[in-house]
Structure formats: structure tokens, C-alpha cells
């Protein structure tokens, strides 16, 4: 159910989305650009969340929730005049900012958990590669974006104390449960989300294996508004069709299809057909002459 915004939210929507709504609406083939407008989160709800999880929200994320309780923008493309959902930009509301890997009272005793997947032989962080999050008590992990089932974007607290300080990072957890660093702050991640237009699997552009060939086709048609173009560079031996959306979605007037005339038969075929009766006639003549021989 779509929530109705208060009168004070509407003037800030264009600034909140960095004008990406107008960019999408003017892109060829794009339709059904929908922004779910939400009321600001109650300050009491934010304080309750911090007390429940024993950690303090980062200041930029807290200010975001005080402006809008979550974010959701979707858009589609028309394929054969049928809208097909494509782009999705989501930030969970404060009530859905749930912890990953936490114990639950409903779990079966001795059942395996995410913490059991920890591998102490994994390489730890260095100057070029930050230390990865952990599913055990060493980290607190909260889901920001479910990524339509392609993984999870998470808010990660690495230094757990009785009350965790707002020292967080944004990481991407892929479907194979490998961690990939995205940004050091929520503000930087939000800019990435908007500038990549919510294209499918855009988070995989920040992994070592990149986006899938199918997703790369959409990247080629609707290029993200990003400065770092090396993330979209293609290998020399890769085969990806260069699709131009201006030509694909260009309307064309249908011309009536003219029926083609039946091709005339080749002269050789006609000649053989005309020779057939004469051959038959000659054979019949020969037979009749043979029948007359006894009477002579």
C-alpha cells in the first residue's frame, strides 16, 4: 500500500532523488517510474531501535530516516508494449532494518547458523582491502537492501562494545555468502544507488567477477551516471551486443505486406514436362504397333 507524504516532503523529493526521476522518464523505452513517498520516521522509533540493538545509528543514516522512513523507486521498460520491471532502488525502513546472523528464540537447538560458516583461514584486511565482516559476535550486520534476491546490502558494525559506536561501513553480501566492500558511509552508498539507476545486479560491478552478461546488456542500454567508467569496461574477448535504445524502441509505421508472386518454373523443368506426353504417346504407339504385328 502506497503511503501518502506530508506536505513538507514533496518539495524535497527532487533533491532526494538527485533528479534521477526526470532522467528515467526521458530515457527511451522507460515506463512506470514509481517513487513510493513515505512519511519521516518517528524519532522515538529510532531511539527504540538503538536501544534494542545496543548500537547507535550513523548520523547520516539517522538524518535520512528523519526525512523519509525508507526509500523505494522502481521503473520498467516496454517490451512488445508490455511493461517489464527492471530497475529497483530500495532502502529498508527503520522497522525492517533487521540484524543478520543474530540468534532467534525460534531456532532449533544445535541447528547450524551463519556463524558456523566463518572461516578463520580467510585473509584479513590490509591497507588496500578492509577486514571483512563476521557473522559471529565480532560484528553487527543489518540489512539495508534485499537486492531482489541477488544478495544483500548491509550496514556493518565491526567493533562491538556494550554500546556500539556509529563507526560503520556498507558491504555487499552475494548469494555465495562472500563479502564485498562498497563504501565507508551511508551517504556514499546512497549516491551509488541513485547513480546506478537501480539496474539489476549493479552491486556486482564492485566484485571481482562483475555483472552477468544479461545484466551487462542493460548496462549498455541505460548507462549508469557514474564517474568510474572502468567498472563497466568490457574484456576484449567478451561478446556483448551493442544495443542502441533509441533504435530499439523507435516507433515504426507498419507497411502492408505484399503477397509475393509464385516463382515461374525453370525452363528446363517446363521442357521436361512438355516432353513427358510425347514420350508417353510414343510408347503407346509402340505398344499398339506391336499388337498389330500378329494380324499382318
| Average pLDDT of span 186-205 | 93
How far is residue 196's CA from residue 203's CA, in Å, rounded to a whole number?
A: 9
How far, rounded to the nearest angstrom, does the alpha carbon of residue 250 sit from its chain's CA centroid? 24
How far is residue 140's CA from residue 158's CA, in Å, rounded to a whole number?
A: 7
| Average pLDDT of span 100-119 | 56
Spell out the domains of the chain, with CATH numbers in brackets: 9-96+131-224 (3.40.1580.10)
pLDDT, one tens digit per residue, over 234-283 is: 443 444 455 555 555 555 555 555 655 565 555 555 555 545 554 444 44
Helix (H, G, I), strand (E, B) or coil at 258: coil
Report pLDDT for 192. Answer: 92
Report pLDDT for 239. Answer: 41
Residues sharing a CB contact under 8 Å with residue 115, sequence separation 6 or more, in sequence order: 101, 134, 135, 136
Task: Grade residue 130 by pLDDT with cuts at 50, 70 and 90.
Answer: confident
Report pLDDT for 117. Answer: 57
The burial of 191, by beta-carbon neighbours within 10 Å (0-12 exposed, 13-18 middle, 19 or more buried), is given as middle
The chain-wide mean pLDDT, for the chain, equals 75
pLDDT, one tens digit per residue, over 95-109 is: 999 998 755 444 555
Q: Is the pTM of this model over 0.85?
A: no
pLDDT, one tens digit per residue, over 174-184 is: 999 999 999 99
Residue 115: what are its φ and ψ, rounded to 5°?
-65, -25
How far is residue 75's CA from residue 94's CA, in Å, rounded to a whole number?
A: 24
pLDDT higher than 50, residue 233: no
Report pLDDT for 222. Answer: 86
Residue 100: what are its φ and ψ, rounded to 5°?
-100, 140
Q: Let me know: does 56 contact 163? Beta carbons within 8 Å.
A: yes
pLDDT higher than 90, residue 157: yes
> Residues for the chain: how many in total?
296
Helix (H, G, I), strand (E, B) or coil at 218: helix
Report pLDDT for 285. Answer: 47
Amino acid at each position: 500500500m502506497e503511503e501518502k507524504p506530508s506536505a513538507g516532503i514533496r518539495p524535497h523529493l527532487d533533491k532526494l532523488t538527485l533528479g534521477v526521476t526526470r532522467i528515467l522518464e526521458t530515457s527511451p523505452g522507460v515506463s512506470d517510474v514509481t517513487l513510493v513517498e513515505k512519511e519521516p520516521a518517528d524519532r522515538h522509533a529510532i531511539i527504540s531501535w538503538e536501544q534494542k540493538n545496543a548500537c547507535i545509528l550513523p548520523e547520516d543514516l539517522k538524518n535520512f530516516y528523519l526525512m523519509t522512513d525508507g526509500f523505494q523507486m522502481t521503473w520498467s521498460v516496454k517490451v512488445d508494449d508490455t511493461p517489464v520491471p527492471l530497475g529497483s532502488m530500495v532502502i529498508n525502513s527503520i522497522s525492517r532494518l533487521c540484524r543478520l546472523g543474530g540468534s532467534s528464540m525460534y531456532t532449533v537447538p544445535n541447528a547450524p547458523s551463519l556463524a558456523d560458516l566463518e572461516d578463520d583461514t580467510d585473509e584479513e584486511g590490509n591497507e588496500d582491502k578492509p577486514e571483512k565482516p563476521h557473522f559471529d559476535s565480532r560484528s553487527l550486520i543489518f540489512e539495508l537492501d534485499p537486492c531482489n534476491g541477488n544478495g544483500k546490502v548491509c550496514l556493518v558494525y565491526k567493533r562491538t562494545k556494550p554500546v556500539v559506536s556509529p563507526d560503520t561501513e556498507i558491504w555487499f553480501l552475494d548469494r555465495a555468502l562472500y563479502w564485498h566492500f562498497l563504501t565507508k558511509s551511508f551517504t556514499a552508498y546512497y549516491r551509488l544507488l541513485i547513480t546506478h539507476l537501480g539496474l539489476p545486479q549493479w552491486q556486482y560491478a564492485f566484485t571481482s567477477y562483475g555483472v552477468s552478461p544479461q545484466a551487462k546488456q542493460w548496462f549498455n542500454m541505460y548507462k549508469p551516471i557514474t564517474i568510474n567508467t572502468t567498472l563497466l569496461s568490457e574484456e576484449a574477448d567478451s561478446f556483448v551486443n551493442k544495443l542502441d535504445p533509441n533504435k530499439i524502441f523507435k516507433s515504426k509505421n507498419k507497411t502492408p505486406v505484399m503477397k509475393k508472386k509464385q516463382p515461374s518454373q525453370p525452363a528446363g523443368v517446363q521442357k521436361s514436362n512438355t516432353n513427358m506426353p510425347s514420350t508417353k504417346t510414343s510408347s503407346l504407339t509402340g505398344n499398339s504397333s506391336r499388337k498389330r504385328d500378329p494380324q499382318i
